[in-house]
Structure formats: C-alpha cells, structure tokens
C-alpha cells in the first residue's frame, strides 16, 4: 500500500502551497523583530553601562556580546546558561560531558558577570567560556561562524529567534535541556506565534522537566517526536568539592545558635522578613538570620534595610563570620547559597511570598534541611505539590508565618526530622534526570564539525576552494576537463542540463560539474547567476553542505573542490566531488538492469530518513539522485540548492517528489522495473518498521 502522505500528489502540493503562504509572513515577523533588536541595541549597551555602577564587569567584553568571540578550537559542544542559577543547575550535566571524551572540551556561555565568575570558579581551564551574543542578526551570524559549535544545549528556556534561525541555517542542532515553560510563558509565546513558531521548529530536541511543560511545547507546535520528559537535572545535584567540609567548619564557628537561612529573596520579601525577624528576636534573642538576596544589585539595598531596622549585621563580602552579638549575616557573595543552606536549622526558599513563582527547593532537600516556602510556587508546581502531599512541606502565608514555622522546627526536632526524611524520599524519587538527558543526547556524541576549513586561493575573478586532504593547492586547472585529459582521464557524461565530466589521476577519480540554469531562466542565461557573497554561491554552498554531512557520517559524496568566477554582477560556478566507486543511480538500474529487492528499497528508505533526521531538505529528491553501490550501500547525491530546513511538514512533500519521479519514469518507459508495491518496503525503511 502506498502511504497517503507520499502518494497523494495534490495533498503534497497543497502542503507546499500552505508553507509558501506562511513563509513570507514569518519572514516579515523575524525581520521586524530583528529591526526592533537593532534599534534596542544602544539601550541594551546603556543598560550594561548602568549595571556597571555596581559591578564593573558589565562594562567589559562588549565585543563578545556583539558576536565577536573566539575560542582556541572551534567546533565544541556549546552549553548556554543564562546566569549563575543556570550555571549551578547545569553542573551535573557539564560534568557528565567532561567525563566522556566523545564530547570534547565544552564551550560554556552565559549573559552575566556573576554567571561568568561561577563558570571560572567551577571549571577553571577545563572548559572554554565566552558571553552569549545579543540576539542581533549580525551578532548571531558572527558568533556561529567563528565558534562553529557542533551542538548547542540551551538550559531551561533560552529561546532566541535569530539565534535559532541562524543555527538552523548552518545545520547546527539545538537542544533544550531541563526545559521549563510555565503557563504564563506559554501564553506569551502564543501571542507571538508568528515569530516563535518557526523558531521553535528549529529545535532538534526538547528535554522537559515535567509533563505539563512537554504538553505546552507540543501545543506551541514542537513535534511530539522531538519532546522527551527527562526530569529536572537539579535533582541530580552534586555538591561541589570541599563543600561538606566548608559547611561543617562554618557551622562549628557559629556555635549552638539556631540559624534560619532565607535564600534567593526578592524585593518585598526582604523587608517583610526583616520586620518579622525583629519581632522574633523578642522571643528568641540568640537566633541568627542568614539573608541571601537573589540578585547582587540588591545587596546594598538590603544592607540599608538592616541598618534602618537597627539590627546588628555583617556583610559576608567583608570576609567575616558572625560573632555572638551578630543578629543577621547578609550573604552578599555569589555562588555560596548551598553553604548557607547547609549551616541552617531550617531554610526559607525565596520568591514564594510574592507572585514570583518560587525558586527550586532541591538545594535544600539534598542537604537534608526542612523546607519553608510561601504560597507562590508555580514555577516548580509539581515538586512543591509532591512535597506538600508527602507531608514534607506546609506552605506559609507571610513572613511572620516563616518565623513561626522556624520556631516550630526548633521546638519539635522529632517532627522536623520526619519532614526531612519525607523530603528526602521525594528527592530520591526524582533523581536520574541527568542520565535520561545524556541518553537522549547520545546520538549527537559522534557528530563532528568538518575536519578543517578549505584551502582558498584567488586568481583574478576566480575563487577556488579545495579540501586539503584531496589536493595540495587550490588551482583553477582542477576545473578544466582538458587539463584532466592531460593527466590521463577525462570523459564527458550526459547528465540533464549540460554535462558532467568524469576525471581522475593517480590521486583519485572525480566528477566535475558545471552549474547550469534550468527552466525559463535558461533561455536568458545558461550558466550565469546573480552575484552574492562567496560562501553563498552555489558551488561553495554545496561544498560546505557536503562537508558537514560527511562529518556526520551520512552517505553523500566527498566535496573535493569548488570554484566561482565573477562576471560583473554575475558569476559562474563548478564543483568537483569524489566518484562513488561501483555505484549506479536507481533510475539507471531500473531502466537498464533489474528491479530492486525489498531489502534494497528499505536501505534507500533508511538513507532518506537519515537525511531528513539531519533536517536536510533535498531540493531535487528523485530516483536519479539515489544510488546503490556494489555492496548494497545507499548514497544520495546532487545537493545543489539544498540546505538545512526547520520543522517536519516539508518531509512528506519531499517523499512525494521522489514518488512522482518514479511514476514519471514508468510513464516514459513501460519497461521501467517499478510498481507502487515497491514503495511499501521503502517506507518501512524510512519509518524504521519491518
């Protein structure tokens, strides 16, 4: 039976027409977004300068934010963490990448100086690090062109339309790990669907922390086969080396005082907690509050609030620990929240007394401390609900209730211990997210970038690229059939528009192809094309694409050399590819030799599927461009005007085009050894069925 997705010609054309109708609107939306970002760039830089009042690092490395970044060895796996929170969350994932030599040396990016400092603190020279660029079209293009990441892993929800678009255009796969998407954020994406839908279609894989997040991504148009529920990688939190000893030493220095740590607090919470703690001291004057604001720009503000409240406090940035008379320790250093949670008798998780949505309590659970949180916990709704259902958490309504629950923990240690044990049970049930995420990333582990940049030379109006493993120098003579005849081998072969020459010498055998126009445009100009930047000319674009696909292990020809020749506002082009030994195209086999076996059709289906899995659109997928060699291996050839394309809807039309080519050959030649029955084993290979 012929599958409807490929057999229905009208359906395939209707799908193509719908896509063409949507494409201009989506392109216009991204163009307007890009224009808005360009206009906002001076404001963004002014904002960084303003932030530099508190942290001078904001005024440095602006070249990186504009995409002018370099690393010692391009082609790494890039892990992007927005700020320090994501850097800490990504620690178990990054450590797994570092432990497996297949992934190489990671490149870690972030957008804030605090995140940058945390990266250097955690990994030193084990990783490369630069800032992630602004989502300007030029900045993202420069960034990707210079660093050439072979895989991009975005943490949680760092989805930038221009970056995703240009990564897709370069064939760079982008994965979201530990994806979180609240209903509020999903609603925002729906409002900007014309912009975000094509951006989300560029994602190769979305590893979600829970099912509601997976459902929201699916509702936004991400294909279900690209979505996995892998859990929250923070549940596999690894304590930093030496942290346990630091916690023990700090706790001993604090003595027997009862300690409440309020971590990741926000404006509105700090004021309320300070006021409630003043009242609490009337009943328990020896207790200590460790207050750790979420954002460093609030450190000075909170210090003034403590001073106005008349509390005796220390700022940890001054290098001191609390003495017996200290009532509050202000945790105004970055990356030490785990230390302050570890020395506490109970921990309040901030962002939950205000409609911020709460922060992750896993850092408290892994340290075996009682969790206190307010009513606003929708950012981690499933986790907080699990804790409440297990009896490990009783939400509080106010800062006064936070201090009351802290006092209850101190007065009833047995009940507190039971809550801790219940929280530990919930935590252990959530572990394994990193292993599940790494299992989903495993297919990308063997991917590489092309071995090296091509050798380039210019000869007047000619630009020549060659693969250094094929030729020692980039010379124009490589594209001259008469020169090859002098080397001993040059034979013209008929091949549609124009001719292909089979050439060779002692180094190897090749196919030399000159680019010709087709259709009505050929009547105006047989082989002249409108000039464009060198990498985007037809020969160079095909050379680059073939190099990328070969590096990923796909069965495509090796690009050995490419050339374009300027003629005023136009250019001509040629490409030289390695000849595939003992290979025959499917059309010739079916015309001249024999029918294909079901195994061979399945092999061809698998080859096309591998191409589609890499998101490669073949503009002329037909039976002339599918080949089988003497060993039965399937090859795909002729990648002129092909490229990477987002989404999946176009794949059905691509298959329909192949099916039409087979039926066309049968109409032209009734001895053509094809029937629609052969399509079933092809689709079995494509679908992975038997």
How far is the C-alpha of 375 from the C-alpha of 398, rounded, in Å? Answer: 9
Cβ atoms of 627 and 577 within 8 Å: the answer is: no
pLDDT at 305: 97
Low-confidence ranges of the chain (pLDDT < 50): 1-13, 15-16, 495-498
Residue partners of 142: CB distance under 8 A and separation at least 6:
66, 67, 68, 69, 133
Q: Could you write out the three-class secondary structure of 204-230? A: EEEEECCHHHHHHHHHCCCCHHHEEEC
How far is the C-alpha of 48 from the C-alpha of 525, rounded, in Å? Answer: 52
Alpha carbon separation from 152 to 80, 174, 637 (Å, rounded): 8, 5, 28
Q: Is residue 86 flagged as an active site residue?
A: yes
- pTM, full prediction: 0.78
Of 64, 86, 156, 600, the active-site residue reads: 86
pLDDT at 4: 41
pLDDT at 11: 47
Give the pLDDT confidence of 48-72 residue by residue, as tens digits.
Answer: 999 998 889 999 999 999 999 989 8
DSSP for 305-340, please give it.
HHHHTT--EEEGGGT----TT--EEE--STT-HHHH
Q: How many helices (H) and strands (E) does the chain have?
A: 27, 26
Neighbours of 661 (CB within 10 A): 19
Start-to-end C-alpha separation, the chain: 14
How far is the C-alpha of 405 from the C-alpha of 361, rounded, in Å? Answer: 16
Diameter over CA atoms, the chain? 100
pLDDT at 334: 84
| φ, ψ at 246 (rounded to 5°) | -65, -45
pLDDT at 7: 41
Q: Which tokens in the block code for residue 417?
A: 């211990």
Long-range contacts of 11-18 (CB under 8 A, 24+ apart): 11/652, 11/656, 12/652, 12/653, 12/656, 12/657, 13/653, 15/649, 15/650, 15/652, 15/653, 16/650, 16/653
Overall residue count recorded for the chain in this entry: 690
For 660, how many CA atoms within 13 A lie in the half-sphere containing its CB? 16
Cβ atoms of 149 and 77 within 8 Å: the answer is: yes
Would you give the DSSP letter of residue 592?
Answer: I
């Amino acid at each position: 039976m012929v599958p409807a997705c490929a057999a229905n010609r009208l359906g395939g054309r209707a799908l193509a027409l719908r896509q063409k109708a949507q494409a201009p609107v989506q392109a216009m939306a991204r163009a307007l977004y890009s224009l808005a970002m360009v206009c906002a760039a001076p404001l963004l830089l002014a904002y960084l300068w303003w932030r530099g009042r508190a942290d001078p690092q904001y005024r440095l490395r602006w070249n990186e934010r504009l995409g002018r970044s370099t690393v010692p060895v391009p082609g790494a796996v890039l892990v992007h963490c927005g700020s320090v929170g994501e850097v800490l969350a990504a620690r178990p994932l990054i450590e797994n990448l570092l432990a497996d030599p297949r992934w190489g040396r990671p490149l870690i990016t972030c957008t804030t100086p605090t995140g940058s400092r945390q990266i250097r603190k955690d990994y030193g020279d084990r990783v490369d690090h630069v800032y992630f660029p602004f989502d300007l079209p030029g900045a993202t293009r420069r960034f990707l062109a210079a660093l050439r990441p072979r895989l991009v892993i975005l943490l949680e929800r760092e989805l930038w339309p221009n970056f995703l678009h240009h990564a897709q255009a370069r064939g760079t796969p982008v994965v979201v790990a530990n994806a979180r998407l609240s209903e509020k954020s999903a609603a925002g994406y729906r409002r900007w669907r014309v912009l975000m839908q094509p951006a989300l279609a560029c994602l190769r894989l979305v590893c979600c922390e829970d099912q509601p997040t997976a459902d929201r991504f699916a509702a936004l148009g991400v294909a279900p086969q690209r979505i996995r529920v892998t859990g929250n990688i923070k549940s596999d939190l690894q304590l930093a080396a030496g942290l346990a000893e630091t916690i023990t030493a700090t706790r001993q220095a604090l003595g027997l005082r009862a300690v409440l740590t309020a971590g990741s607090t926000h404006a509105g919470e700090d004021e309320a907690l300070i006021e409630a703690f003043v009242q609490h001291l009337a009943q328990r004057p020896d207790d200590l509050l460790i207050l750790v604001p979420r954002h460093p720009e609030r450190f000075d503000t909170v210090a003034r609030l403590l001073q106005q409240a008349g509390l005796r406090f220390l700022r940890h940035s001054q290098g001191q620990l609390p003495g017996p008379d200290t009532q509050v320790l202000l945790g105004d250093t970055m990356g030490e929240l785990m230390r302050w949670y570890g020395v506490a008798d109970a921990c309040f998780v901030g962002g939950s007394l205000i409609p911020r949505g709460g922060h992750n309590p896993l850092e408290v659970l892994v340290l075996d401390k009682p969790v206190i949180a307010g009513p606003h916990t929708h950012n981690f709704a499933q986790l907080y609900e699990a804790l409440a259902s297990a009896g490990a958490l009783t939400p509080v309504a106010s800062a006064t209730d936070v201090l009351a629950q802290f006092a209850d923990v101190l007065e009833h240690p047995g009940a507190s211990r039971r809550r801790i044990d219940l929280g530990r049970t919930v935590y252990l049930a959530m572990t394994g997210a990193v292993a599940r995420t790494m299992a989903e990333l495993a297919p990308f582990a063997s991917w590489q970038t092309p071995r090296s940049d091509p050798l380039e030379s210019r000869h007047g109006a000619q630009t020549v690229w060659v693969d250094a493993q094929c030729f020692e120098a980039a010379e124009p003579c490589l594209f001259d059939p008469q020169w090859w005849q002098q080397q001993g081998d040059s034979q013209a072969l008929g091949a549609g528009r124009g001719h292909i020459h089979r050439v060779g010498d002692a180094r190897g055998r090749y196919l030399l192809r000159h680019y010709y126009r087709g259709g009505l445009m050929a009547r105006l100009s047989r082989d002249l094309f409108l000039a464009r930047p060198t990498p985007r000319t037809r020969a160079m674009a095909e050379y680059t694409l073939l190099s990328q696909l070969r590096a990923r292990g796909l069965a495509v020809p090796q690009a050995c050399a490419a050339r374009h020749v300027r003629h005023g506002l136009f250019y001509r082009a040629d490409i030289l590819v390695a000849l595939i030994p003992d290979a025959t195209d499917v059309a010739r086999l079916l015309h001249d030799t024999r029918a294909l076996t079901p195994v061979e059709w399945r092999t061809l289906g698998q080859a096309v599927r591998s191409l589609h899995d890499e998101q490669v659109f073949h503009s002329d997928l037909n039976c002339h461009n599918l080949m089988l060699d003497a060993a039965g291996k399937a090859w795909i050839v002729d990648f002129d005007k092909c490229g990477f394309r987002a989404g999946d809807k176009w794949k059905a039309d691509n298959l329909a085009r192949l099916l039409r080519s087979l039926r066309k050959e049968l109409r032209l030649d009734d001895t053509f050894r094809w029937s629609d029955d052969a399509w079933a084993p092809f689709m079995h290979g494509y679908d992975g069925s038997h």
